[in-house]
Amino acid sequence: MNLTSQDYQVLAPYILLTAWACVLLLVDLFIPKERKSVTALLAALGLAVTLGVTLSQVGIEQVGFFNMAALDGFSTFVNALLLVSGILGIALAHGYVKRMGIERGEYYTLLLFSVSGMMLMAQATDLIIVFIALELLSIPLYVLAAFARPQLSSEEAGMKYFLLGAFATGFVVYGTALVFGATGTTSLAGIVAAAASPSTSTLLLTIGAALVLVGFGFKVAAVPFHMWTPDVYQGAPTAVTAFMASGAKIAGFAALLRVFATAFPALAVDMTAVLWALAALTMIVGNVIAISQTDIKRMLAYSSIAHAGYILMAFVPYGNPAVRDVSIAAGLFYLVAYAFTNFGAWGVVIALEKKEEKGLAIADYAGLGRKHPLLAAAMTVFMLSLVGLPPTLGLVGKVYLFRAVIAGGFTGLAIIGVLTSLISAYYYLRVVVTMYMKEGEPETVRETWLSLTTALTAIVTVVFSLLPQSLFEWASTAVLKLF
């Protein structure tokens, strides 16, 4: 039972980031209160170095730590996306926390810990590790959601997120217990092998897998497990919401993909129908309720629920080996598109937000087109991308996704996807109409990092949509390896 350098290589990015976060926690003590930008810079540097290590591992495929963690194209792709999200999250937060008077060094350390949990989640090939990664990513997020204390709305957001997150964890743990009881192992590869043997109790295995699905449904905010999302997204500090909406979603879907595609292909017959219903419900409910929202944070929260539905579509054909890899690639591509668009949109929200939760109504965006044309143009790009209109990454992502779903034989689901996208055009374009057609005097803040993030994400959203092939090819190499 000795660990070799190969084991450490598998988890090298994760180990590096966790160690960096621990050291940063200590270093932060010696950084004076008014110079917390240094902590932000060090945290971003840690993420950038880890990103370098991750990218240097492209093409390596191996397992480590006694089959508990894997390094493959999938984990490298997801980890790179998560690390970029972390960097964008810090760039958005840096000026925001200062302006809101909640600048504390722990913010950045907690963010690093959360990213490390998400990365572990993408690499976990054992249900024990999935559980630990889930908690490592969630617990810092509970704290971050309540970070604007003593502001009551933020504390309540933290509390609600905590209670429902812990509730979801209960389902995941009990589901894991049943899967362990049915198969005698927690390793994903072991579960596949055991599921094939006739002595395994299919009933126990199915209930276990369903409970795990419920737990992850909470994490990725799929209907009917979405009730916490609007409240938490609205109450949490906006920079945290931006990070949470992308990071937690990417990690949750990565874990779902790995667990279901590698461990439960035998249950595909039962699970496909459940996933179909979840995806359809999530798209419909998210988009329909978003129409009546007047608060931009709540509207984007429902939009994020709706997008969870679109990404869930990629899971529906997971039991069909012919289209599995294409649909996983389409799902990953959509996650990239969603992450960039999402960070940009929340960046614009941060630029307009004032203290004491002012400047968050959609009506506050009136006149933005005349007063700050660049910001309004960026917001227009993000809204078009969320609807799925050209020339944006959102459109390309949806095209790939619908194509994969239709290839899998689920045309009905694709039709629901197109119809709900049409519904969503109403509330996204309402923001654009408000910005350009209505009179108003919106005030915005100018912060270097915030403007850079918004500009960068807008450019990525447009430019990559013109040459999507290279990105999609990279996503196609990110297939899951079954070890």
Partner 1 sequence: MIPVEYYIILSAILFAIGVAGVLVRRNALIIFMSIELMLNSANLAIVAFSSVLKSFSGQVFVFFVIAVAAAEVAVGLALMVEIFKAKHSIDVDQMNSLKG
Binding interface with partner 1 (CB under 8 A): 128, 131-132, 135, 139, 142-143, 146, 149-150, 152-153, 155-160, 162-163, 166-167, 169-171, 173-174, 176-178, 180-181, 184-186, 230-231, 234-235, 293-295, 298
Q: Whole-angstrom Cα distance, residue 403 to residue 140?
A: 37
Q: Please check whether residue 359 is in contact with residue 353, taking contact to mean a CB–CB distance below 8 angstroms.
A: yes
- Least spacing, CB of residue 264 vs partner 1, in Å: 18
Asked whether the beta carbons of 366 and 111 are under 8 A apart, the reply is no
Nearer to partner 1, 61 or 155 (CB): 155
Interatomic CA distance for residues 28 and 26, integer angstroms? 5
**Closer CB to partner 1, residue 146 or residue 337?**
146
**Minimum CB distance to partner 1, residue 11 (Å):** 17
| Cβ distance to partner 1 smaller for residue 39 or 293 | 293
Give the residue with the Cβ less far from partner 1, 231 or 447.
231
Q: Which is nearer to partner 1, 235 or 252 (CB)?
A: 235
Give residue for tokens 């915005």.
Answer: 444
Residues 328/261, Cβ–Cβ less than 8 Å: yes
Minimum Å gap between C-beta 166 and partner 1 is 5
Q: Is there a contact between 118 and 251 (Cβ–Cβ < 8 Å)?
A: yes
Pick between residue 296 and residue 314 the one whose CB is nearest to partner 1: 296
Encoded amino acid at 196, one letter: A
Residue 88 token pair: 């964008």
Report residue 183 CA to chain centroid gap: 30
Partners of residue 71 on adjacent β-strands: 62
Under 8 Å between Cβ of 183 and 200: yes
Taking only Cα atoms into account, the Rg of the chain, rounded to an integer number of angstroms, comes to 21
Q: Which is nearer to partner 1, 152 or 419 (CB)?
A: 152
The 8-class DSSP code of residue 266 comes to: G
> Computed from CA positions of residues 17, 22, 26, 31, in that sequence, does the dihedral angle turn out positive or negative?
positive
Smallest gap from residue 180 Cβ to partner 1 (A): 6
CB of 28 to partner 1, least distance (A): 19
Q: What is the DSSP string of 5-73?
A: HHHHHHTHHHHHHHHHHHHHHHHGGGS-GGGTHHHHHHHHHHHHHHHHHHHHTTT--EEETTTTEEESH
Rounded least distance, CB 190 to partner 1, Å: 10
Closest CB to partner 1 among residues 65, 436: 65
Closer residue to partner 1, CB minimum distance, 108 or 147? 147
Contact between residue 371 and residue 326 where contact means Cβ atoms under 8 Å apart: no
Six token digits for residue 337: 């598109």
In whole angstroms, how close is the CB of 247 to partner 1 at the nearest point? 18
Q: How far is the CB of 259 from partner 1 (least distance, A)?
A: 15
Q: How far is the CB of 258 from partner 1 (least distance, A)?
A: 18
